[in-house]
Structure 1
Amino acid sequence: MNYLFVHQNFPGQYQHVVQHLAAQPGNRVVFISHDNPLQIPGVERATYQPFRAARPSTHHYLQDLEQAVIYGQGVYEVCRRLKAEGFRPDIMIGHNGWGETLYMKDVWPDVPLLAYFEFFYHLTGADIGFDPSLPVNLNDGPRVRTKNAINTLGFDAADWGHTPTGWQWSLYPDYMRSRISVVHEGVDTTIVRPEPDAWLRLPSGLTLTRKDEVITYVARNLEPYRGFHVFMRALPGILKRRPKAHVLVVGGDEVSYGQAAPDGRSFRDILLDEVGAGIDRERVHFLGKVPYPSFLTILRVSSAHVYLTYPFVLSWSFLEAMAAGCLIIGSSTIPVEEVLRDRQNGLLVDFFDGAGLADRIDEVFEHPDRMQALRDRARQTAVENYDLRTVTLPRFLALTDDLIAGRTPAQGTLATGTLAERTPA
């Protein structure tokens, strides 16, 4: 079989599936993306460079759409070149969010296209307006409605869609949900697993193990969408209550989601200026972005893992923390509540309740075995519902097989059993 993937940041959400497909005899896997140094054995790279960025003079409602068209055109040109070289895919698979899948069917109209639909934007009921510190402005409604043009055009171009969680599926209009399946990317739970004897040596020379009081916080970047401001403002109280605790903070100072911090500063610098006097820097360790093995070790020595998020895309690290047997204290927001049940496989706390977060952390450390039963059930949740080899990869391959064979796939199939009932207005 010939497989054609596209994602601007190779390999993106498709790492596991392309590794699997490329390892199978008789498959040819081609991946279109922006240039980067990453390689996967057996996967052919085909890169494109957008010929320009969206112009500042373009109406600000339309800038995302203009950039999507530019990306789509870049992929279109690569597809035309591949076709001229004699390549014909049996299926095309790609992320819709940046417009890259928009014009692939104009090159191969009879080849099925499976597009990744990550998020349909809403003015209410999701991320926008959730945080009072970022109030809705008069332009948000028109801007969001126009931004969804990428979703709509991409859906029209695709034969079928996939999305990772039931709540993300529920955000799409009815007519779109009827052609979108829920299949998560999965977690390799044979690699992401607890190790009771794990230890971590910090740059300072300090060594931490599971016997220590270790509070962890992980995000791709330290920003409000992942509750970094709430966590930082709660830290002085947490450290005062837990005089032996060490806090490990993983994440960069860029912006993945939402607005950038003002004046070109990072949210970390702003919040350190605000609460730094109440933080013992000998016990709070900002580790930046770390290699994946180090990330897993951090999870394995964690006593209490804090995960806060707006109603938005659920982080991979959340499920990896469950698979690693972390005791997760998660925000009671819809994406988290789809997977984490309070006092069954973790603890929930109101996103904005810093004092409540400190209370939950106290509960963990005051428990005789730091809530081992909840840790075990967190691991069980990840293995039973999100394991790469036994659950998610077989479901994704069944989806692609259906499309290649001309069969109609199942929509709304969800690893965790039931779809979120709430659909934003």
Structure 2
Amino acid sequence: MVSAASAPGLPGAAGTPAVRRPRVLHFVTGGFSGATQVAVDLVRAHAASGRCEALLVLRRKRHTRNERVQALRDQGLAVETVAGWAHVATIWQLVALCRRFQPDVLVAHGFSEHLWGRYAGLIAGVPHLVHVEHNSRERYTAWRLRQALWLAERTDLIVGVSEGVRQSLLARGFPAAKTVAIPNGIALGPYELARHPAWADRVPGIVMAARFARQKDHATLLRAVALLRDRGLTPPVKLAGGGKAAAQRAARKLCTALGLDGQVEFLGHCGDVPGLLMGHRICVLATHYEGMPLSLIEGMAAGCAVVGSRVVGVQEIIDDGRNGLLAAHADPASLADALERLLVRDDEAQRMAQAAQEDARHLYSLQTMTKRYEDLLLRGLEVAQ
């Protein structure tokens, strides 16, 4: 894996005195996905470190809630939004923001925002462009891929949020010399009390904290829970997350059809995911593809026994049988087997949960992730204070 310490940095203007701190603009979907969370965490980290000025720009989606945007502003973050109804509108509104904010670096997160963000950066004359890829499998058509590779020639740095994502970028033809891996991380503070309550006091139930979208595989989890019921196991299941209304409706319809309405609870957006996870024993992520799944890392940090689909991203952080279990992709029976193992073998589940928690603390801290990003984004742009 290419580490941030040995990776190429952004070129700087050697010998040119700085009249202000470097400015970094992070552009990302307003869908409040994992990519959004990473961008928010980085903007928050920039404010805390004082190494640069940062602006977060969200591309509005139909389900972008104004109260969530305002909540970020209330936390002291500089946040703007641009239209999402047309690519041209997105680009030109972002160009206007770039000309006003005058960033030294524009970081465009996720597909397809990394295309429109970098087009805007080129038009506005932003000196340095960065592309962050958040998933191992994106919806690249041949035309979109040609655009991305053309933009890569004009981009300083391409970041994959895991080694698996980096490898998927290289397989598509992105330049190896510019492409690095920086694993996602989480804030560990909310999980400091993860050893309390004790394992015996936790609800022997299942939590999946993930937005409703085509990428996530709530259907396989629901079918696995139905299989568990047929085996005589009826753990409570809580599904936390917002997302697309159509995907939520489909999941609710399937839940009813499987006769699980009294067992499965749809929580919607959850304001206290750490508390929810720390109150339960099992965290699951059924998914079709990932980059580096924050929700699973949060489950690990919370002291849960974790189960994930055997896909790129997930299989990088779960060492099957040591710190969690992997289930075959889109296979309800395989997922039911893994969940049953954790539900009935309590000592084994607790052992895996402890190993997962240690891994989360040592490998996936937000502090480690943000330092790697800042060191790369600001290399050559800072002047000693």
TM-score tier after normalising by the smaller chain length: 0.7 to 0.9
CA shift, 1:41, in A, is 5.1
**CA pair 119-248 structure 1, distance change in 2 beyond 3 A:** closer
Equivalent position of 2:208 in the other structure? 217
- The 5 Å alignment of 1:149-164 reads 149-164=146-161
Equivalent position of 1:59 in the other structure? none
Q: Which runs of no fewer than 5 residues in structure 1 stay unpaired?
A: 55-66, 121-125, 129-142, 200-207, 407-425
**Structure 2 length normalisation: TM-score?**
0.78
Equivalent position of 1:423 in the other structure? none
Q: Deviations over 1:293-346 (max 9, x none)?
A: 2x2122112222221111343432111111112111111222211111110110
- The 5 Å alignment of 1:98-137 reads 98=113, 99-108=116-125, 111-119=127-135, 126=137
CA contact (8 A) 2:322 2:355 kept: yes
2:360 and 2:130 map into 1 onto residues whose CA distance is 25
Counterpart selection for 1:303 from 258, 263, 281: 281
CA shift, 1:211, in A, is 4.2
CA shift, 1:243, in A, is 4.5
1:349 and 1:96 map into 2 onto residues whose CA distance is 26
SS of 2:370's equivalent? helix
1:46 and 1:224 map into 2 onto residues whose CA distance is 27
CA contact (8 A) 1:184 1:386 kept: yes
SS of 1:303's equivalent? strand
Question: CA RMSD, aligned part only?
Answer: 3.1
Equivalent position of 2:334 in the other structure? 356
CA contact (8 A) 1:119 1:313 kept: yes
Q: Which runs of no fewer than 5 residues in structure 2 stay unpaired?
A: 1-20, 31-35, 61-68
Counterpart selection for 1:384 from 344, 362, 371: 362
SS of 1:384's equivalent? helix
- The 5 Å alignment of 1:229-240 reads 229-240=219-230
SS of 1:195's equivalent? coil
- The 5 Å alignment of 1:367-382 reads 367-382=345-360
Q: Whose helix fraction is larger, Structure 1's or Structure 2's?
A: 2
Equivalent position of 1:176 in the other structure? 175
| Greater length-normalized contact order (CA 8 Å, ≥ 6 residues apart) | 2
**CA pair 273-363 structure 1, distance change in 2 beyond 3 A:** closer
SS of 2:296's equivalent? helix
- The 5 Å alignment of 1:244-283 reads 245-252=235-242, 254=244, 266-276=249-259, 279=260, 281-283=261-263
CA contact (8 A) 2:129 2:157 kept: yes
Equivalent position of 1:78 in the other structure? 97
Equivalent position of 1:365 in the other structure? 343
Equivalent position of 2:57 in the other structure? 32
CA contact (8 A) 1:185 1:392 kept: yes
Equivalent position of 2:270 in the other structure? 290
2:234 and 2:296 map into 1 onto residues whose CA distance is 25
More divergent stretch after superposition (69-78 vs 162-171): 69-78
**CA pair 211-39 structure 1, distance change in 2 beyond 3 A:** closer
1:23 and 1:405 map into 2 onto residues whose CA distance is 16
**CA pair 100-254 structure 1, distance change in 2 beyond 3 A:** same
**CA pair 382-210 structure 1, distance change in 2 beyond 3 A:** same
SS of 1:319's equivalent? helix
**CA pair 106-403 structure 1, distance change in 2 beyond 3 A:** farther
Counterpart selection for 2:370 from 390, 393, 418: 393
Structure 1 or 2, whichever has the larger Rg, is 1
More divergent stretch after superposition (228-237 vs 190-199): 190-199
Equivalent position of 1:91 in the other structure? 105
1:96 and 1:250 map into 2 onto residues whose CA distance is 23
CA shift, 1:181, in A, is 1.8
Identity over aligned residues, as a percent?
19
Counterpart selection for 2:302 from 324, 329, 334: 324
Match for 1:321: what amino acid?
A: G
1:158 and 1:378 map into 2 onto residues whose CA distance is 36
Match for 1:275: what amino acid?
A: L
1:356 and 1:73 map into 2 onto residues whose CA distance is 48
CA contact (8 A) 2:291 2:312 kept: no
2:249 and 2:92 map into 1 onto residues whose CA distance is 34
1:385 and 1:327 map into 2 onto residues whose CA distance is 17
CA shift, 1:26, in A, is 7.2
CA shift, 1:119, in A, is 4.4
SS of 1:188's equivalent? coil
Match for 1:75: what amino acid?
A: L
1:48 partnered with 2:48? no
**CA pair 350-210 structure 1, distance change in 2 beyond 3 A:** farther
1:248 and 1:168 map into 2 onto residues whose CA distance is 29
1:211 and 1:5 map into 2 onto residues whose CA distance is 42
**CA pair 225-371 structure 1, distance change in 2 beyond 3 A:** same
